[in-house]
C-alpha cells in the first residue's frame, strides 16, 4: 500500500517556524521554512538535520513551497538554502517573492546589527536564495518534474498568501498555510475547489474560536477611535508593518473619508512605504472592492494617512498613530506609548496577539503600573483596548474549508495542542474522516489507495459498451474480461484474442469436468430427458439444447449420462465446461448434485 508521510519539523502542535515535510509518491517536499519568534538559539530554525545529517538538502528534497511572507513561514529560507545547502526550486507567489526579501533583510538587520549575532545569513545570501525562487500564479498548474505538480489557491490572510495543492499521480495533498475564510477590508476569502485531496494540512490557530461578525469588530474599533478623537485624545495603534496594518489603514481611511474627519492619521515610516508600494502593485490579489475601484483611485494611495515624524508625538490636538512593532516591546510604538500613557483621554488599541512578557501583554492583562528600565515606573492612565483583527480562519472557517475541499484525511498544524484536540474531535465527528495532529518530528503515515490508470484498447471498449447498456454508469464499477499486458512501464488492457496475437501464443482451452453420481431407475436417455426438462424449467433465459447424440447442452456446457455397469440405477452425470463458463458450470454441478 502506498503511503503519504507527513512530518512537521516546526508548527507541529505549536505556532511558529512552520516547516512540514511531505513525502508523496516518492517525492519529498518541504512546505514553508519559517523561524520561531520566541527563541534566539538553535531552536529558532527547524532542525534540518532530520533530513540529512551532513551534506546538502538538494538530494533529499524535490521542491520547497513557501505559502506567504510572514517570517514564521519563510524566515529560515536563506539559512536553509545557503547555509545548509539547497539548490532545488523554491516556489512562492509573486507578491510573496516581492515582499519576502524585504522582511528577511529587516530580520537580518535586527539580529545581526542590533543584537550583534554572528554566524547568521548575509544580505548576499538572501539575494542568492531569492534567485532560486520560481514564482507561482493563482490556479496555475506548475510541473515541478514529470510527476509532481503543484497548484496555488487564494488564501486571504496576507497579500499573496496561497494554499497549495500538491499532486503526484492520483495522490494529492493540500497545504493551506495560513488562511482566512472571512474577507476583510483589503483581502478576499480563501477559496479552493472540490479537489478531494488525500490529506488536507490545515492551520488551526483559532481552533476553539468562533468569531462574531467582523462588522461588529470594525464598528467597535471605529467607534472607539472616533470617540477618542472627538474627546481630543490621541490614539496609538501598535501594529506590525505588514498585513493587518494595511487593513486598519484602509478601514480608518475610508471612515475618515465618509465622516469627513480632519484629525491627522500618521503611520510610522520604514518598511511600510516599500510594502505599501507592493500593495498598490498587486491589486489583483486584493478584494472585490479594491479591485473594482482602483481605476478611479487606488485604495492604498492614502489621502488622510501621512508619514510619522518623531516630533509629531508632542503635537497638541487629537491624532491617530500607527506605530511598529505590534507588541509594544521596543521601538517607536513603545516610545509613543510612554509619552501618552499618562493622559486618560488617550487610548491604545491592540489589534492582535501579544506574547507573554511584552508590555502589550502586561497592559492587556490590566496592569496599571509598569516598571521601566532604571527603576522608573510608568502609570498607565490611558485606555487600553483589545480588538482581534487576526486574519486566521476560525473554527467555523476551518470546517468550511474542509467542506469545500472534501479531503480523505485531515492533519492539523500551527496551533496549540489543547485547542487542536478539541477541533480534532469535532472534525472526526462531523465528517467522519481521520484527523491527525503530529508533534514536531513525529511522522504521520496515511495509506492511500491510488487508482492505476490503464490504457484500454478501443475495440474492447466498444465491445463492452455494446454489451452493457447505452451509457456507462459512472457510479457503479463494472467487471469485464480482458488481458492486462504490462510492458516496460505501460499498462495495457486488450481483448484476449488480441493479446494472443500480439504475444504470438496459442490459445489453450481449459475445461473442467465433473462427475455427479445419482440414483435413478430410468434409462439413460430418459434420465437425460428429465434433466433436460428440469434444467429447462430452472434456467430460463439460457439456451438449453437436447442434442441427438445423447447430450444436453446448456450454453456451452455439455452434460452426458452414463450408467455404470454394475448398477443400472446408479447413473453418472458427466459435466464439462470451459473455464469461461466457470460460474454457470459450478452452479449446474451444484444443482445436479442435489
Partner 1 sequence: MAAHLKKRVYEEFSKVVQIPHEEAPAKKLRLSKPSKSAALHIDLCKATNSTDALQYLLQFARKPVEAESVEGVIRILLEHYYKENDNSVRLKIASLLGLLSKTRGFSPDCIFDDAINTLSNENSHQVLAQLLDTLLVIGTQLPESPAVRLRLTEVAYKHLSDTHFGVRNKCLQLLGGLGVVDAPLGKDSEGPSSSSAGAVREVQTIISDYFSDQDPRVRTAALKAMLQLHERGMKIHQIIYEQACRLLSDDYEQVRSAAVQMVWVLSQLYPESIVPIPSSNEEIRLVDDAFGKISHMVSDGSWMVRVQAAKTLGSMLQVSPHFLEQTLDKKLMSDLRRKRTAHERAKELFASGEFSSGRKWADDAPKEKLDTNTVSLIASGACGAFVHGLEDEMFEVRIAAVEALCQLARSSPSFAEKCLDFLVDMFNDEIEEVRLQSIHVLREISTHITLREDQLDTVLAVLEDSSRDIREALHELLCYTNVSTKECIQLALLELLKNLNKYPTDRNSVWKCLKFLGSRHPTLVLPLVPELLSTHPYFDTPEPDMDDPAYIAVLVLVFNAAKSCPTMPALFSDHTFRHYAYLRDSLSHLVPPLRLPGRKQVYSLDSVDSGAGSGSVESAQVFLQQSLHRVSTIQNLETPGAQDLLDFTIRDLQRLGELQTELAGAADFCATFLRCQLLLMKALQDKLWNTAVPLCLKQNVTATAAAQQIVEETYKLEFLYSGLESRQVATIHHVRLQAKALQLILTARTRQGVDPLVSSEKFLQEVESFQRQFLSELPHLQDSFVEKLLELMPRLSSCKPVELVKILQATLRQSGLPQLRLPERVHRATATILEPTGESDNPLRFTTGLVLALDIDATLEHVQNPQNTVKVQVLYPDGQSHVIHPKPADFRKPGPDRHRLITQVYLSHSAWTEPSQIEVRLLLAYSSASSSLPSRTKLGWSDSFDGLPPPEPAVEGTIPFSKPVKVYIMPKPARR
Q: Which residues are catalytic?
A: 203
**Closest distance of CB 213 from partner 1, Å:** 6
Cβ contact 223:216 at 8 Å: no
Residues 165-184 that bind partner 1 (CB under 8 A): 182-183
Q: CA angle, corner 128, sides to 125 and 134, nearest 5? A: 135
Cβ contact 572:520 at 8 Å: no
Nearer residue to partner 1 within complex by CB, 15 or 399: 399
* Of the residues 143, 288, 311, 479, which one makes contact with partner 1 according to CB under 8 A: 288
Nearer residue to partner 1 within complex by CB, 206 or 308: 206
From 214-222, 266-274, 495-503, 512-520, give the range in contact with partner 1 by CB under 8 A. Answer: 214-222
Site string for partner 1, 435-474 (x = CB under 8 A): -----------------------------------xxxxx
Nearer residue to partner 1 within complex by CB, 130 or 265: 265
What are the C-alpha distances in Å from 464 to residues 81, 417, 471, 495, 542?
54, 54, 11, 10, 20
Residues 474-493 that bind partner 1 (CB under 8 A): 474-475
Q: Estimate the crossing angle of helix 94-108 against helix 271-281, to 10 degrees.
A: 180
* Of the residues 194, 369, 487, 540, which one makes contact with partner 1 according to CB under 8 A: 194
Cβ contact 123:115 at 8 Å: no
DSSP assignment of 243-295, as one string? THHHHHHHHHHHHHHHHT--S-EEE--SHHHHHHHHHHHTGGGS-HHHHHHTT
Nearer residue to partner 1 within complex by CB, 131 or 292: 292
Q: Output the furthest CA–CA distance in the chain (Å, rounded).
A: 128
Number of residues in contact with partner 1, rule: CB under 8 A? Answer: 60
Q: Is 257 in the site for partner 1 (CB under 8 A)?
A: yes
Cβ contact 314:340 at 8 Å: no
179: Cβ contacts below 8 Å, ≥ 6 apart: 155, 156, 157, 161, 163, 190, 203, 392, 393, 397, 401
Nearer residue to partner 1 within complex by CB, 31 or 189: 189
Pairwise CA distance, residues 399 & 427, whole Å:
7
SS3 348: strand
**Closest distance of CB 156 from partner 1, Å:** 9
Site string for partner 1, 87-116 (x = CB under 8 A): ------------------------------
Cβ contact 196:408 at 8 Å: yes
Q: Is 214 in the site for partner 1 (CB under 8 A)?
A: yes
Nearer residue to partner 1 within complex by CB, 194 or 540: 194
* Of the residues 12, 75, 188, 351, which one makes contact with partner 1 according to CB under 8 A: 188
Q: Where do we find the cell 442435489?
A: 594
Contacts with partner 1, residue ranges (CB under 8 A): 182-183, 185, 188-189, 191-194, 206, 208-220, 222-223, 226, 254, 257-260, 287-289, 350, 364-365, 386-388, 390, 394-396, 399-400, 403-404, 418, 422, 425-426, 429-430, 470-475
Amino acid at each position: 500500500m502506498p503511503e503519504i508521510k507527513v512530518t512537521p519539523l516546526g508548527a507541529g502542535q505549536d505556532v511558529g517556524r512552520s516547516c512540514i515535510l511531505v513525502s508523496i509518491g516518492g517525492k519529498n517536499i518541504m512546505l514553508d521554512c519559517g523561524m520561531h519568534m520566541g527563541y534566539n538559539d538553535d531552536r529558532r530554525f527547524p532542525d534540518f538535520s532530520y533530513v540529512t545529517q551532513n551534506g546538502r538538502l538538494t538530494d533529499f528534497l524535490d521542491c520547497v513551497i513557501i505559502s506567504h511572507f510572514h517570517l514564521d513561514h519563510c524566515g529560515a529560507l536563506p539559512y536553509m538554502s545557503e547555509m545548509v545547502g539547497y539548490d532545488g526550486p523554491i516556489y512562492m507567489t509573486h507578491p510573496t517573492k516581492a515582499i519576502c526579501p524585504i522582511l528577511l533583510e529587516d530580520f537580518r538587520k535586527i539580529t545581526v546589527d542590533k543584537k550583534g549575532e554572528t554566524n547568521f545569513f548575509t544580505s548576499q545570501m538572501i539575494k542568492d536564495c531569492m534567485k532560486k525562487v520560481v514564482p507561482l500564479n493563482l490556479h496555475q498548474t506548475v510541473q515541478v518534474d514529470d510527476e509532481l505538480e503543484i497548484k496555488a489557491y487564494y488564501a486571504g490572510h496576507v497579500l499573496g498568501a496561497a494554499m497549495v495543492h500538491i499532486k503526484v499521480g492520483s495522490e494529492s495533498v493540500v497545504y493551506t498555510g495560513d488562511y482566512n475564510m472571512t474577507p476583510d477590508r483589503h483581502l478576499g476569502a480563501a477559496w479552493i475547489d472540490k479537489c478531494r485531496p488525500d490529506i488536507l494540512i490545515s492551520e488551526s490557530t483559532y481552533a476553539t474560536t468562533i468569531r462574531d461578525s467582523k462588522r461588529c469588530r470594525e464598528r467597535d474599533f471605529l467607534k472607539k477611535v472616533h470617540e477618542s478623537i472627538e474627546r481630543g485624545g490621541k490614539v496609538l495603534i501598535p501594529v506590525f508593518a505588514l498585513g493587518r496594518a494595511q487593513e486598519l489603514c484602509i478601514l480608518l481611511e475610508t471612515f475618515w473619508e465618509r465622516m469627513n474627519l480632519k484629525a491627522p492619521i500618521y503611520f510610522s515610516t520604514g518598511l511600510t512605504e516599500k510594502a505599501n508600494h507592493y500593495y498598490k502593485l498587486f491589486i489583483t490579489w486584493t478584494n472585490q472592492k479594491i479591485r473594482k475601484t482602483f481605476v478611479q483611485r487606488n485604495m492604498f494611495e492614502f489621502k488622510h494617512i501621512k508619514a510619522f515624524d518623531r516630533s509629531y508625538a508632542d503635537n497638541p490636538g487629537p491624532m491617530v498613530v500607527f506605530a511598529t512593532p505590534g507588541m509594544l516591546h521596543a521601538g517607536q510604538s513603545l516610545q509613543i506609548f510612554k509619552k501618552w500613557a499618562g493622559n486618560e483621554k488617550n487610548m491604545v488599541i491592540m489589534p492582535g496577539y501579544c506574547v507573554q512578557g511584552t508590555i502589550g501583554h502586561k497592559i492587556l492583562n490590566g496592569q496599571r503600573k509598569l516598571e521601566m528600565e532604571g527603576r522608573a515606573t510608568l502609570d498607565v492612565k490611558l485606555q487600553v483596548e483589545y480588538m482581534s483583527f487576526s486574519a486566521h480562519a476560525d473554527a467555523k472557517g476551518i470546517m468550511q474549508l474542509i467542506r469545500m475541499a472534501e479531503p480523505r484525511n485531515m492533519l492539523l498544524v500551527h496551533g496549540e495542542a489543547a485547542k487542536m484536540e478539541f477541533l480534532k474531535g469535532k472534525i472526526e465527528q462531523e465528517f467522519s474522516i481521520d484527523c491527525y495532529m503530529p508533534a514536531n518530528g513525529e511522522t504521520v503515515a496515511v495509506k492511500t489507495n491510488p487508482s492505476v490508470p490503464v490504457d484500454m484498447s478501443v475495440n474492447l471498449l466498444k465491445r463492452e459498451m455494446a454489451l452493457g447498456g447505452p451509457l456507462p454508469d459512472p457510479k457503479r464499477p463494472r467487471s469485464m474480461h480482458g488481458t492486462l499486458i504490462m510492458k516496460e512501464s505501460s499498462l495495457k488492457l486488450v481483448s484476449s484474442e488480441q493479446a494472443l496475437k500480439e504475444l504470438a501464443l496459442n490459445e489453450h482451452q481449459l475445461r473442467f469436468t465433473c462427475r455427479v453420481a445419482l440414483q435413478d431407475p430410468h434409462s439413460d436417455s430418459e434420465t437425460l430427458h428429465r434433466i433436460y426438462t428440469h434444467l429447462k424449467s430452472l434456467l430460463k433465459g439460457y439456451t438449453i439444447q437436447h442434442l441427438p447424440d445423447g447430450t444436453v447442452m446448456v450454453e456451452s456446457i455439455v452434460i452426458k449420462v452414463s450408467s455404470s455397469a454394475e448398477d443400472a440405477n446408479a447413473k453418472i452425470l458427466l459435466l464439462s465446461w470451459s473455464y469461461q463458463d466457470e460460474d454457470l458450470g459450478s452452479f449446474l454441478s451444484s444443482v445436479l448434485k442435489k
